[in-house]
Copies of this chain bind each other. A is one copy, B any other.
Amino acid sequence: MKVEIITVGNELTLGEVVNTNAVFMASSLTERGFEVSCIATVGDNEYCIEDALLRAQEHADAIVVSGGLGPTADDVTANSAAKALGRRMTINKEILQSLRESFARRGMEMPLANEKQAFFPHQAEIIPNPLGTASGFILRHKGRIYVFLPGVPRELKHLFSENVLPLLEKERQDKPCFRSRTLKVFGFTESAIADRLKGITLQSHSAALAYLPRFPENHVKITASGKSPEEVAKNLEEMEKIIREKLEGRVFAFDTETLEEIVGRMLRSNLATLAVAESCTGGLIAHRLTQIPGSSDYFEWGLVTYSNRAKVEILKVPEELLATHGAVSALVAEKMAEGVQQISQSTLGLGVTGIAGPGGGSEEKPVGTVFIALASPRGILSKRYQFQGDREQIKIISAHTAIDWVRRYFLNVLSGISGQPA
């Protein structure tokens, strides 16, 4: 089944935002064996939208349109669809009522502008939107399916996954036999991964590989095909096993799993708790750990000790250590890890200190110098890193490396310098 994607929005043709909706829909469709023939992006302009809709039907069986369903005057997708496909606009009283009710629940009267969102082209099948005021809808025209979705990424993702993919699966004639899996790698560059995987014979497993850099991670996407679902599953599994071996424990997750989820699960199953003392990462580690629902079970304390005084007063880092070694040093990272572990009475204490830049670097400790330390029942480990990038990138890669330390600790593959009493 051929699918064309049309993304609508002035913010796209003006180059104000990256088109993440297009990449999300294209990858979801590709994973399920749909062929994406073309992605058209047009501004909030009736003529352009109509034109794109009419053209799409020439080479696609299904057309998925996102954006332009908002309450304001510049949102014209529904009207354009009606014109392109020769329909009149009609009000849907149920949607109008539910819009009014949803505003009332928040103690607000519905703004007049939102009434527009209860109008749809004649004979539209409504896709209710539990996350916002813009309902999606489906039109059938000359043997083609047209699907219209709001452009707010969170709403689009939800409606696309829950409604559009099942609809297209049901309507398709061809049932291809293949599956994909994305392995997430941290700690090897893209070319290092490619070098390590060079010798693999893909043909014997009917598999293809794609390399996807996702800073600070690198992803390897395996797509395996076969004559039956069983054969596909076997090919995929064998290929995954080979790759995981070649990448020596650097594959930390697959598909939608995140590093903080993996680490959270490890902490929970080991009945362990974690506390962090952050300097250069400035709260990013705590923020990422607490993205996981229920993280309060294993994460109780985070300290952002930007200043020396904070390090001394709360974490009990000795002042003479700061004076002799500097705040960015292995010994200070170790004392931070130890300090936060002790005051929080957590199983593990993570300490991170470094220079995120752009200022503050020196010849001996340039921007990107970061020390990570972990205090655990097995003792204290620390390590010096030299990261590259701007302030934000250095924060991100430092936080990622530190969280990965916890994963590697539980896997018994963490190595560093053993801490010495100062």
A195 touching B26, Cβ below 8 Å: no
Q: Which residues of chain B are near A113, meaning CB under 8 Å?
A: 191, 194-195
**A213 on the interface (CB 8 Å rule)?**
yes
A286 touching B300, Cβ below 8 Å: no
Number of copies: 2
Q: Which residues of chain B are near A190, meaning CB under 8 Å?
A: 70-72
A294–B306 alpha-carbon span in the complex (Å):
11
Q: Which residues of chain B are near A18, meaning CB under 8 Å?
A: 18-20, 23
A291–B74 alpha-carbon span in the complex (Å):
34
Q: Which of B71, B133, B194, B210 is A16 in contact with, Cβ under 8 Å?
A: B210
A40, A358, A393 pick with most chain B CB within 10 angstroms: A40
Contact bitstring A45-86, B, C-beta under 8 A = 1, else 0? 000100110010001000000000011111000000000000
Q: Which residues of chain B are near A309, meaning CB under 8 Å?
A: 300
Q: Which of B39, B296, B344 is A40 in contact with, Cβ under 8 Å?
A: B39
Q: Which residues of chain B are near A37, meaning CB under 8 Å?
A: 13, 42-43, 48
Q: Which residues of chain B are near A22, meaning CB under 8 Å?
A: 15, 19, 41
**What is the distance, in angstroms, from A398's C-beta to the closest C-beta of chain B?**
12
Q: Which residues of chain B are near A48, meaning CB under 8 Å?
A: 37-38, 59
> A40 and B43 in contact (CB under 8 A), knowing A26-B15, A289-B282, A304-B290?
no
Query: Which label, helix, strand, loop or mixed, suits the secondary structure of the A interface?
Result: mixed
Q: Which residues of chain B are near A283, meaning CB under 8 Å?
A: 278, 283-287, 289-290, 302, 304
Q: Which of B194, B302, B307, B356 is A306 in contact with, Cβ under 8 Å?
A: B302
A15 touching B29, Cβ below 8 Å: yes
Q: Which residues of chain B are near A17, meaning CB under 8 Å?
A: 23, 212
A212–B281 alpha-carbon span in the complex (Å):
30
A14 touching B30, Cβ below 8 Å: yes
B302 touching A304, Cβ below 8 Å: yes
Q: Which residues of chain B are near A14, meaning CB under 8 Å?
A: 26-27, 30, 36, 210
A359 touching B294, Cβ below 8 Å: yes
Size of the chain A interface, CB-CB below 8 angstroms: 96
> A290 and B306 in contact (CB under 8 A), knowing A71-B190, A194-B111?
yes
**A417 on the interface (CB 8 Å rule)?**
no
291-329 of chain A: CB within 8 A of chain B: 291, 293-296, 299-307, 309-310, 313-314
A39 touching B26, Cβ below 8 Å: no
A190–B11 alpha-carbon span in the complex (Å):
15
Q: Which of B23, B38, B52, B73 is A19 in contact with, Cβ under 8 Å?
A: B23
B290 touching A287, Cβ below 8 Å: no
**A126 on the interface (CB 8 Å rule)?**
no
Contact bitstring A164-178, B, C-beta under 8 A = 1, else 0? 000000000000000
**A395 on the interface (CB 8 Å rule)?**
yes
Q: Which residues of chain B are near A358, meaning CB under 8 Å?
A: 293
A37–B287 alpha-carbon span in the complex (Å):
41
Q: Which residues of chain B are near A15, meaning CB under 8 Å?
A: 22-30, 36
**A408 on the interface (CB 8 Å rule)?**
no
**What is the distance, in angstroms, from A144's C-beta to the closest C-beta of chain B?**
17
**A388 on the interface (CB 8 Å rule)?**
yes
**Sample of 18 more A-B contacts, CB < 8 Å, known A16-B210, A283-B286, A287-B395:** A13-B26, A13-B39, A15-B22, A15-B26, A15-B29, A19-B19, A38-B42, A38-B52, A55-B55, A111-B192, A281-B287, A282-B291, A282-B302, A286-B286, A291-B391, A293-B357, A293-B358, A302-B303
A residues with CB within 8 A of B: 10-20, 22-30, 36-43, 48, 51-52, 55, 59, 70-74, 106, 111-114, 133, 152, 154, 190-192, 194-195, 210-213, 215, 221, 278, 281-287, 289-291, 293-296, 299-307, 309-310, 313-314, 343-344, 356-359, 388, 391-393, 395
